[in-house]
């Protein structure tokens, strides 16, 4: 028994998850304090505006998630093939191409900032512009973050995450106390993204010294990146839209105070996902490396679902049982009317979190057609909320049903996805 426990504790998924867990928990506590400060020092309507801006950021930052996923995948493949000396060239070339794409997307958002602000009932377009600039540096930073994960350098990854969150907290509260309100909050968000980008150079500096090697066929890798990136982008946009589009639609359809209250409900519910998602971050590079070595993947996937599912279930039960306590911890100044929604919303987050793990698994083994499932699910959820939004309860019921069906669909896809998992070649 001791041998089994020792083996489990030394498992890369457990050790890596432990580092990521404590790093992410520290960052999440700082993010919680940031959100707590914004929720306490902004009016409910102002907080709704701020969270809707973050939701816009999250929707467009799907590219960042895709960049992170793609570069985690290919750096892990390089490690699996013992070609770590090419990591520096991967980072430089990847940053160049992603930078061009990021510039175009940022410019697009700024050009259409007036229309976006009108849809969200926001008076100032400058808030949209600052959000777009935050996106630009987020895109660039995730090239390095993805490579750090692929190298299993979770300590550096966690440090960058913590320092960026700390910067956001200090700057955000400082700007709020100076009277800048929503402008100050979103400016802190932008500056933390910039800081996160600059910090990523430090742990990769030794690889950048070897970036001049000419015998690495990056044109071949770039082709593979292109073929892999689009389906990953679609899969991630489906998963991201699934947990953010509701906030945007509620901001559009409901009056400002209700939208602000819903933003608080969503933030409290999603904290369950943020508490357990570090395990999924560790899962991706481990599965990708194991696939390259032809090892069995079922055990590590089941372990991930267990490690994520059990705490998520307990947290959901806690939200059902003690909603007043949860609200008091997060937003004591908000109306008690939101208590009744916390339990049901946590059920949505539970199914979403399990679906997120399965989506990560499929992408890590190259089963990129999973995007068909996630996109269809996100479209169905969006359509249902668009036409059925008489109350907050109705919106949350749609979320629960949609997430449950998404989870079932991804489970049924498992036997098909695991039939054949041939190693990649670069």
Give pLDDT tens digits for 52-91. 888 888 778 777 777 777 788 778 777 777 777 777 778 8
Number of domains in the chain: 1
Q: How many beta carbons lie within 10 A of that of residue 41, not counting itself? A: 17
Distance, CA of 244 to CA of 415 (rounded, Å): 29
Of 314, 313, 308, 339, nearest in space to 326 by CA: 339
Of 351, 72, 406, 117, nearest in space to 238 by CA: 406
* 426 in a structural domain: no
Q: Is the pLDDT at 314 greater than 50, yes or no?
A: yes
* 272 in a structural domain: yes
Write down the H helix ranges in 213-338.
218-253, 256-276, 278-292, 298-321, 323-330
Instruction: Provide mean pLDDT across the span 184-191.
Output: 93
Helix, strand, coil share of the chain (percent; to 5) = 85, 0, 15
* 422 in a structural domain: no
Range with the lowest mean pLDDT among 66-70, 142-146, 347-351, 393-397?
66-70
* 423 in a structural domain: no
Distance, CA of 275 to CA of 397 (rounded, Å): 23
pTM above 0.85, yes or no: no
Of 105, 92, 32, nearest in space to 62 by CA: 105
* 274 in a structural domain: yes
Distance, CA of 27 to CA of 30 (rounded, Å): 5
Considering Cα of 124, then 130, then 136, then 139, what sign does the dihedral take?
negative
Distance, CA of 409 to CA of 265 (rounded, Å): 27
Distance, CA of 263 to CA of 331 (rounded, Å): 11
* 424 in a structural domain: no
Domain that holds residue 53: 2-417
DSSP state letter for 123: S
Distance, CA of 405 to CA of 121 (rounded, Å): 32
* 391 in a structural domain: yes
* 282 in a structural domain: yes
Q: Which two tokens stand for residue 388?
A: 């059925």
């Amino acid at each position: 028994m001791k041998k089994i426990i020792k083996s489990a504790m030394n498992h890369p998924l457990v050790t890596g998850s432990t580092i990521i867990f404590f790093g992410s928990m520290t960052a999440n506590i700082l993010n919680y304090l940031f959100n707590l400060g914004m929720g306490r020092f902004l009016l409910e309507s102002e907080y709704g505006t701020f969270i809707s801006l973050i939701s816009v950021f999250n929707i467009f930052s799907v590219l960042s998630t895709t960049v992170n996923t793609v570069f985690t995948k290919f750096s892990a493949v390089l490690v699996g093939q013992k070609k770590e000396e090419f990591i520096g060239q991967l980072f430089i070339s990847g940053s160049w191409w992603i930078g061009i794409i990021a510039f175009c997307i940022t410019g697009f958002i700024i050009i259409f900032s007036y229309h976006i602000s009108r849809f969200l009932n926001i008076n100032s377009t400058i808030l949209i512009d600052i959000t777009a600039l935050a996106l630009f540096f987020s895109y660039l930073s995730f090239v390095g973050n993805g490579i750090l994960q692929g190298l299993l350098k979770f300590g550096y990854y966690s440090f960058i995450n913590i320092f960026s969150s700390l910067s956001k907290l200090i700057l955000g509260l400082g700007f709020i106390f100076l009277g800048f309100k929503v402008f100050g909050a979103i400016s802190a968000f932008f500056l933390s993204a910039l800081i996160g980008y600059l910090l990523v150079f430090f742990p990769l500096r030794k690889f950048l010294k070897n970036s001049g090697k000419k015998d690495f066929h990056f044109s071949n890798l770039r082709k593979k990146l292109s073929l892999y990136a689009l389906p990953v982008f679609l899969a991630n946009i489906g998963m991201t839209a699934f947990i953010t589009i509701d906030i945007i639609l509620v901001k559009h359809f409901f009056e400002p105070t209700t939208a602000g209250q819903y933003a608080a409900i969503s933030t409290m519910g999603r904290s369950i996902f943020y508490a357990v998602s570090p395990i999924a971050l560790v899962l991706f590079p481990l599965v990708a490396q194991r696939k390259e070595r032809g090892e069995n993947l079922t055990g590590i996937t089941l372990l991930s679902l267990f490690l994520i599912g059990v705490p998520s279930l307990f947290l959901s039960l806690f939200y059902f049982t003690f909603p007043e306590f949860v609200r008091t911890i997060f937003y004591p100044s908000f109306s008690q009317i939101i208590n009744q929604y916390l339990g049901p919303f946590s059920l949505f987050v539970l199914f979403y979190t399990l679906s997120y793990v399965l989506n990560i698994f499929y992408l890590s083994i190259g089963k990129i057609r999973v995007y068909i499932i996630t996109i269809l699910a996100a479209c169905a959820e969006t359509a249902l909320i668009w036409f059925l939004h008489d109350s907050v309860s109705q919106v949350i019921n749609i979320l629960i049903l949609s997430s449950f069906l998404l989870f079932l669909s991804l489970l049924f896809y498992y036997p098909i996805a695991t039939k054949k998992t041939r190693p990649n070649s670069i």
